[in-house]
């Protein structure tokens, strides 16, 4: 197991980054770091496309133009960077120059023409890219075509430890047709996430919560359990100095239909969301949806899409117990994958942040469907009262240890942030 101590979280890196001026001499590292920064200008707005940044330098390595893919259906990063070169009156400086781009250029027709065609018309000498596009439509074809035409093609990653954030959601969704699933949890030193009845009291400080809002925008969709929904009455949007206030896709996790029967309590919570909120999805097992169809219709009338997944929940009977006596419940992994594919393909969910609480986190961990964890640890012990731990023991299956890989440690003022892959 490896870990790195990181000076600052990604959002702070982006806030403090100083953009180079036109004419600044950039080496390969500096140019690619600038392209990485630019890519995040499309944060939360480019799906199903990835975030991409691009930078042009002249033959002497001086900056002549830059751009990013800002929104799905609009020009890609390479084209916007080329437009910027023209706006700067520096087209003549392209000869012998270099294009730095965070992802291999596209070579297929979609909502916009392929960037490869435009690049092949340029008098530049070299293309430096951070990642190959592993999607079926590209998969190295552009780099091979550019190399065949005599362009020098080199791969170089940004220097930031967060460079994989640019493509991991996009590449995962393209290869699995499921969202990249992240778990976010704030806890005390003893692993408690709240005392019962105290769910609305914050454990971590302002800086940790600010970063949590950045994660909401990065993933674009947030899921909370129905108990968290009714107890906390959250707005479930994203608020951060990088982008102000932004609405994201909201998912209420209610596999056993416990929240459906409380449909009359939902409207006051939605009133805090305002009008025109983006897709809001209520998820439960199809059996409970059928049993509570009237309540489901109330939710639909309020603007929810109500998804009933067949056989989402599976039960293990207690030995010698009655047919209605169960030792535990767990997720049917096959049904969960179908649900996740539905969220990706029908609702455009490419990244999914599981934000609370233990009744949501545990079954996803148990089913091995969490890709990355973001754990905030506050320097406090939670003494007294009945505590809620990060794992809901009665939902977990066989005894198992789940280890994080390649994780980082970051200090967020008084709190510690631990992030890593599962």
Distances, alpha carbon 5 to alpha carbons 15, 262, 420, in Å:
20, 45, 12
In which residue are the tokens 């009156």 written? 89
pLDDT at 68: 98
- pTM of the predicted model, to two decimals? 0.92
Q: How much is the pLDDT for 327?
A: 46
Residue ranges of the chain whose pLDDT lies below 50: 322-327
CB 188 within 8 A of CB 194: no
For residue 201, the model assigns a pLDDT of: 75
Q: Do 58 and 93 meet the contact criterion of CB atoms below 8 Å apart?
A: yes
pLDDT at 191: 84
Q: What Rg do the C-alpha atoms of the chain give, in angstroms?
A: 24
Pair of tokens at residue 328: 């535990």
Catalytic residue among 18, 25, 74, 78: 78
Q: What is the pLDDT at residue 322?
A: 47
For residues 128 and 146, give the distance between their C-alpha atoms in angstroms, rounded to a whole number: 11
Residue 91: name the closest of 66, 67, 64, 69 by CA: 64
User: Has 78 been annotated as catalytic?
Assistant: yes
């Amino acid at each position: 197991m490896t870990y790195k101590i990181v000076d600052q979280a990604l959002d702070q890196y982006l806030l403090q980054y100083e953009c180079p001026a036109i004419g600044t001499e950039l080496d390969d590292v500096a140019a690619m770091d600038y392209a990485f920064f630019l890519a995040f200008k499309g944060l939360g707005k480019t799906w199903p496309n990835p975030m991409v940044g691009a930078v042009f330098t002249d033959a002497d390595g001086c900056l002549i133009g830059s751009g990013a893919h800002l929104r799905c259906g609009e020009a890609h990063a390479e084209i916007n960077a080329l437009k910027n070169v023209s706006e700067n009156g520096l087209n003549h400086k392209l000869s012998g120059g270099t294009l730095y781009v965070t992802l291999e250029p596209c070579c297929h027709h979609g909502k916009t023409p392929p960037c490869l065609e435009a690049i092949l018309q340029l008098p530049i000498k070299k293309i430096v890219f951070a990642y190959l596009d592993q999607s079926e439509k590209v998969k190295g074809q552009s780099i091979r075509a550019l190399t065949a035409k005599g362009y020098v093609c080199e791969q170089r990653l940004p220097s930031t430890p967060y460079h994989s954030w640019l493509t991991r959601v996009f590449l995962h969704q393209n290869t699995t047709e499921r969202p990249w699933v992240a778990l976010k949890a704030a806890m005390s030193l003893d692993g408690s996430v709240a005392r019962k009845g105290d769910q609305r009291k914050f454990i971590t400080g302002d800086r940790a919560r600010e970063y949590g809002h950045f994660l909401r925008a990065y993933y674009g969709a947030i899921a909370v359990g129905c108990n968290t929904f009714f107890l906390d009455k959250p707005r479930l949007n994203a608020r951060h100095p990088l982008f102000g206030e932004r609405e994201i896709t909201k998912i209420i996790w209610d596999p056993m239909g416990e929240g459906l029967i409380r449909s009359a309590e939902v409207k006051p919570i939605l009133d805090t969301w305002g009008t025109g909120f983006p897709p809001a999805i209520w998820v439960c097992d199809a059996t409970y949806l059928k049993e509570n169809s009237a309540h489901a219709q109330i939710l639909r009338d309020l603007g929810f899409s109500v998804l009933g997944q067949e056989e989402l929940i599976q039960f293990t009977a207690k030995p010698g117990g009655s047919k209605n006596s169960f030792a535990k419940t767990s997720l049917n992994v096959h049904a969960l994958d179908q649900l996740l594919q539905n969220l990706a393909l029908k609702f455009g969910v490419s990244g999914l942040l599981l934000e609370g609480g233990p009744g949501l986190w545990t079954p996803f961990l148990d089913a091995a469907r969490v890709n990355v964890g973001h754990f905030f640890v506050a320097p406090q012990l939670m003494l007294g009262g009945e505590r809620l731990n990060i794992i809901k023991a009665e939902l977990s299956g066989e005894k198992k240890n789940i280890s994080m890989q390649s994780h980082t440690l970051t200090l967020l003022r008084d709190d510690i942030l631990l992030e890593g892959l599962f």
